[in-house]
Amino acid sequence: MAGHIQDRWYKTVTDAEGTSKRVKTDRYGLGMRYRARYVAPDGNERSKSFPDKQKRLAEAWLTQLAADMTRGQYVDPSAGKVTFQQFATKWLASQTTDVSTITAMELRFRLHVFPHIGSRSLNAFQPSHIRGWARALKDSGIAPSYQRVIFANVSAVFGAAVDDGRIPRNPCRARSVKAPKLDPRKLKPWTRERVIAVRGGLPEKYRTTADVAAGCGLRQGEIFGLAVDEIDFLGGIVHVVRQVKLVGSHLLFAPPKGGKLRDVPLPDTVSYVLAEHITRHPPIEVTLPWKAPNGPPVTATLLFYSRERKALNRNYFNMYLWKPALVSAGVIPKRLPGERFSESREHGMHALRHYYASVLLDAGENIKALAEYLGHADPGFTLRTYTHLMPNSQDRARKAIDEAFGTDAEDDGDSGEATAA
């Protein structure tokens, strides 16, 4: 790398006799004295100014740049002058994931990120800035799991900036920066009595949604998108192939979460109530765009739909059907006139999915199978979420050994040696 230090306060001149001497320039005493100049890998000249008495610092800066270029780690200092908000906005626009995921990320950035760190240039970030923002996020009172999602989104933006050569490293991955910790509280599944009570609080037309959630483990959107031809009554299988999503104010069909299509066992009890539901409330054809508001139209014969014979909107269902059912079951208090329902995030329809998982684990189902039924891509996630609900391993071990040796031990007077062997 060709680089040199320019002294803008002095210049060297040669007189008529060929003698060189240093004289003050017109800029003497004004602004930064030294300008470190170099040619970047793209062939363009770059420079950085340093104050008086900082020539050694300028030389060290050039030396570091030369080393970075040799290692292939050079980052153009001017590339990181764009603000976090500017870069994140372009990054969001380039994402190829589904529309609802992008919309959710945009909302997180707008509410919890841009007001705090959006105006700072990428190359001006230090780990301390991320620590301060993470602390503000924690103090805001939002759920730890949601904090982790927001933090991961921000880290992804910085990761993209590193990949694009705008900054040398991701400040979210500094050793002194800690990602938000998950709430240590363990998930507590509903009891059978509560499931029955909440189901009974739903309008008759929608009670079967609770049966499908608690009996098959489907997500809310998957239940809303369930079509009659995806129920195999003879084979005892539910084919989960779509969900109803809400993107802004638009309802649309989309693949299940993570694009993971799956088959779920259909218990006889759920099969019976589904058949009865179909008799009382015949399925109807509903057409929605596929995956995006401007996507191609797709038609499905849905089992559950609104009074207007449209796909169910989660906002309407949760506010006007689900929460009143929680009130009737005594899960949350009654809403006072003019006020909102109490916060009930842990008592959303997802609670029926947790109940489903707890019942299967208690019956001895293995984690891999449960993960498949729930549509989890990673069985490790299933294990971390529900491991405390698994039957006690010590109890199982004692029972297994007792069953293996118990009868023989009673018949053999020297049972101590037999079990010790």
Domain ranges of the chain: 3-74, 81-173, 192-346, 394-421
> What is the rounded end-to-end Cα distance, in angstroms, of the chain?
75
**How far lies 388's CA from each of 11, 187, 358, in Å?**
76, 8, 10
d(CA 292, CA 320): 26
Q: Digits of tens for pLDDT over the chain (421 positions)?
A: 568 888 889 888 888 788 888 889 999 989 999 998 878 766 778 888 899 999 999 888 888 888 877 776 677 777 778 999 999 999 999 998 888 888 899 999 999 999 999 999 999 999 999 999 999 999 998 888 899 999 999 999 999 999 988 888 999 999 999 999 877 677 889 999 999 999 999 999 999 999 999 999 999 999 999 999 999 999 999 999 999 999 888 999 999 998 889 999 999 999 999 999 999 999 999 999 999 899 999 999 999 999 999 999 999 999 999 999 999 999 989 888 878 887 777 899 999 999 999 999 988 899 999 999 999 988 888 888 888 787 665 666 666 677 777 655 455 555 444 444 4
Within 10 Å of residue 209's Cβ, how many Cβ atoms?
25
Within 10 Å of residue 151's Cβ, how many Cβ atoms?
22
Contacts 24+ apart (CB under 8 A), 168-176: 168/68, 168/73, 168/75, 171/125, 171/126, 171/127, 171/129, 171/130, 172/130, 174/127, 174/130, 176/127, 176/131
The pTM assigned to this predicted structure is: 0.70
Contact 174, 130 (CB under 8 A): yes
d(CA 406, CA 341): 56
d(CA 81, CA 87): 10
Q: What is residue 419's predicted lDDT score, i.e. its pLDDT?
A: 43
Q: What is residue 409's predicted lDDT score, i.e. its pLDDT?
A: 46
CB-based contacts of 392, cutoff 8 Å, min separation 6: none
- Going by C-alpha positions, the residue among 56, 45, 55, 61 that lies closest to residue 10 is 55
Contact 234, 275 (CB under 8 A): no
Q: What is residue 327's predicted lDDT score, i.e. its pLDDT?
A: 94
* Torsion sign across C-alpha atoms 139, 140, 142, 147: negative
Topology of 192-346 in CATH? hpI Integrase; Chain A (1.10.443)
Contact 137, 147 (CB under 8 A): yes
Contact 352, 208 (CB under 8 A): no
Residue 265's Cβ-count burial label (10 Å; 0-12, 13-18, 19+) is middle
On the question of a common fold for 81-173 and 192-346, the answer reads: no
d(CA 251, CA 254): 10
d(CA 87, CA 66): 27
Cα 102 from chain centroid? Answer: 11
Enumerate the β-bridge partners of residue 83: 121
Q: What is residue 415's predicted lDDT score, i.e. its pLDDT?
A: 46
Topology of 81-173 in CATH? DNA polymerase; domain 1 (1.10.150)
